[in-house]
Amino acid sequence: MSILEVQHLEKHFDSTKVLNDISFSLEQGQALSIIGSSGSGKTTLLRCLNFLETPDNGTISVQGEILFDAANPQTQLESEIRKKRLHFGLVFQSFNLFPQYTALQNVTLARELMAKEHGGERKEDIEAAGRELLAQMGLADRAEHYPHQLSGGQQQRVAIARALAMHPDILCFDEPTSALDPELTGEVLRVIRNLAEQKTTMIIVTHEMAFARDVADQVIFMDGGFIVEQGNPHDVIEHPKEERTRQFLARYTEN
């Protein structure tokens, strides 16, 4: 059974169809890269998966459980959405850390709130886990720093630790390095590459073609809200079948 199964997903904004019949699946421990030009619907797709947008059609299943079915309002109850969101972690292009909290607090906040609401974990344990995650991100000595005291690459690694702290089934990245200088890009890509080596299930929207090719087990090329081509990264990126994919990739190899 696939960890994630998306079928016939569609999304309109007003009269514009932004996602058209999007279907794909993802296996446990695999990384999926999504590539495509600006406006092709990549962010909208991630937002639908994270229950930040409601698709107009289609289904989303995680580990065989239908989390969303456009035809079944029971799957769209507001009261259930928060819980369903926990299946996914989302790391944004712009980090979105809370400026008034330290790196460690950013990582532990959601788990502390959960523990307060539902009981369970002790604060010390949550903090120890948070420090451990920051250490994995190469940030052991930055735990008490505030976001404004961190570089962009460091902030993004805190954001990754924060997403991991909730143990999502699937970790989603929306252009995690596009706000960063090339140097800082490298350190964030290294962290994501390590996560892939540890078999973290991930969806990565990226413009880093070499990274998509080398790290992903599967690539999807989107254009105009459609999946134009999908398959293993070497086939799609080195030997695209579709003209539109070739045109898109040509822009990355021209210079």
Select the binding partner of residue 100 from ligand ATP, Mg ion, none (C-beta < 5 to 8 A, by kind): none
One residue of 43, 102, 106, 177 binding Mg ion per CB under 5 A: 43
Closest C-alpha to 38, from 174, 156, 192: 174
Select the binding partner of residue 38 from Mg ion, ligand ATP, none (C-beta < 5 to 8 A, by kind): ligand ATP
CB of 41 to ligand ATP, least distance (A): 4
Closest C-alpha to 178, from 95, 98, 88: 95
Question: Binding of ligand ATP at residue 40 (CB under 6 A)?
Answer: yes
- For the residues of the chain, what is the DSSP string, one character each? --SEEEEEEEEEETTEEEEEEEEEEE-TT-EEEEEE-TTSSHHHHHHHHTTSS--SEEEEEETTEEEEETT-GGGG-HHHHHHHHTTEEEE-TT----TTS-HHHHHHHHHHHHHHHH--S-HHHHHHHHHHHHHHTT-GGGTT--GGGS-HHHHHHHHHHHHHHT--SEEEEESTTTTS-HHHHHHHHHHHHHHHHTT--EEEE-S-HHHHHHH-SEEEEEETTEEEEEE-HIIIIIS--SHHHHHHHHHHH--
Question: Binding of ligand ATP at residue 251 (CB under 6 A)?
Answer: no
Task: Rank residues 43 and 201 by Cβ distance to ligand ATP and give the closer one.
Answer: 43
Taking contact as CB under 6 A, which single stretch among the options 35-43, 116-124, 135-143, 230-238 is the one that binds ligand ATP?
35-43
Q: What is the 3-state secondary structure (H, E, C) of 101-123?
A: CCHHHHHHHHHHHHHHHHCCCCH
CB of 3 to ligand ATP, least distance (A): 23
Question: Binding of ligand ATP at residue 15 (CB under 6 A)?
Answer: no
CB of 106 to ligand ATP, least distance (A): 24
Task: Rank residues 40 and 156 by Cβ distance to ligand ATP and give the closer one.
Answer: 40
Select the binding partner of residue 98 from Mg ion, ligand ATP, none (C-beta < 5 to 8 A, by kind): none
Task: Rank residues 43 and 50 by Cβ distance to Mg ion and give the closer one.
Answer: 43
Task: Rank residues 43 and 245 by Cβ distance to Mg ion and give the closer one.
Answer: 43
Tell which positions 106-165 bind Mg ion, by CB under 5 A: none
How big is the site for ligand ATP, counted in residues (CB under 6 A)? 10
How big is the site for Mg ion, counted in residues (CB under 5 A)? 1
Task: Rank residues 129 and 248 by Cβ distance to Mg ion and give the closer one.
Answer: 248
Tell which positions 41-80 bind ligand ATP, by CB under 6 A: 41-44
Contact residues for ligand ATP (CB under 6 A)? 13, 18, 36, 38-44
Residues near Mg ion, by CB under 5 A: 43
